[in-house]
Amino acid sequence: MDVFVARQPILDSQGHIHAYELLFRESMDNYFKSGDGDSATSSLISSSFFLMDFNKLTMGKPAFINFTANLLREGMATLLPKNQVVIEILEDVDPDPEVVAACKSLKEKGYQIALDDFVFRPDYRSLIELADIIKVDFQATQSYELQALIKRLNELNIRFLAEKVETLEEYEKAKDFGYGLFQGYFFSKPNIVQGKDISSNKLNYLRLLQQVNSPDVDIDKLEKIIRADISLTYKLLKFINSSAFGLNSQISSIKQALTLLGPKEVKKWASVIVMGKITDGKPDALAIQSYVRASFAEKLSAKVGLGGMGSNAFLLGLFSLIDACLDRPLAEILQELPIEAPVKNALLGQPNGYRYLLELIVAYEQGNWSIVNRLLNKFSIKEECVPQYYLQALAEAHELNQ
């Protein structure tokens, strides 16, 4: 039986991924049909810890996991490693003596506690005093209350998390109010600001991309570009010497590494490294999401009639967020890159096989299952292979970000 876990990144004020919230799903329908919170969390724990590779699922970051009153009383949280989870107490949990005692016990054992969809109530004081993190719904809370909550609880050592942040304005407001953690659609659909140019350093990385994507890759030119950058040299040698390659001997030269990888894998490596570099000053979720999309697209390409075009599909996914990374118009950026016309057209919204592939990936990310199912039917794709490919893409992204 297939298992499904939804996840959403939680970022800090520097745009770095602080944690992920995990949610159980029993199918590709993006909700838990029974509405039983106890069953949802129990199944989530079973799926993410006992069936999947939890560290790869969360990229080594902590996971926020929802807990009901029953599960708190039953001590379910102590099944989980305290350094890998945050116990998120749902908003409908009443702070009765048993619940408070269970939370005190968790705190004593070293667990972090978060209060979800928080609205101040005097009878919640006992849980507030145990909380490490308070999550506030930016869509459901009045502006004055968003700020008043922090002032009211200022004497406590609590971090405030703004959730359901959907715009740049809300993000900036949350930071101004004193919120230190952020969650919401804004970070997966970043606001695009036009007009900025690329700094010289970023331009050099784009030249690297041009070289690895040229029809006849020149190893000597690649070596020259990489040699000039200690970060690129380190990452290349670390990558080629990783356990993923299972080499009997270590690789010590740039040219040797490039030759062993071959043009196809060098292209992937360079693309991922460059995406990470040009997103400096942006949430690193963008770089990770770009790679996950790229790998996901490559794996799905044959299923949508693009057999033999996996490399193009990879670039399609990788560059699907590049306008957000560079704060520049997508059409302008694509003029500078030697990508095949069908891929460029797809990124610009023109219908073709690559565009259908990108629409499937974005719909799957956003849980828009009506579009997902329509495209699966269009290409006669078996439903079960999609989450399998997505988890594989997550695992690869985790490996590259170690």
Q: Domain-by-domain residue ranges, the chain? A: 4-183, 200-401
- For 145, half-sphere exposure in the C-beta direction (CA atoms, 13 angstrom radius) is 11
- CB neighbour list of residue 361: distance below 8 Å, 6 or more residues apart: 293, 296, 297, 300, 317, 320
pLDDT at 352: 94
Identify the H or E element spanning 134. Answer: strand 133-137
pLDDT at 140: 81
| Pairing assessment for the beta strands 112-115 and 63-67 based on DSSP bridges | unpaired
pLDDT at 394: 86
Exposure string of 4-15, with b = 16+ CB inside 10 Å and e = fewer, is bbebbbbbeeeb
The number of residues making up the chain comes to 402
Task: Provide the CATH topology of domain 4-183.
Answer: TIM Barrel (3.20.20)
Residue 162 DSSP SS3:
strand
Q: Which residues of the chain carry a pLDDT beneath 50?
A: 1, 30-32, 188-201, 243-244
Query: What would be the CATH architecture of the domain defined by 200-401?
Result: Orthogonal Bundle (1.10)
**pTM of the complete model:** 0.55
pLDDT at 190: 27
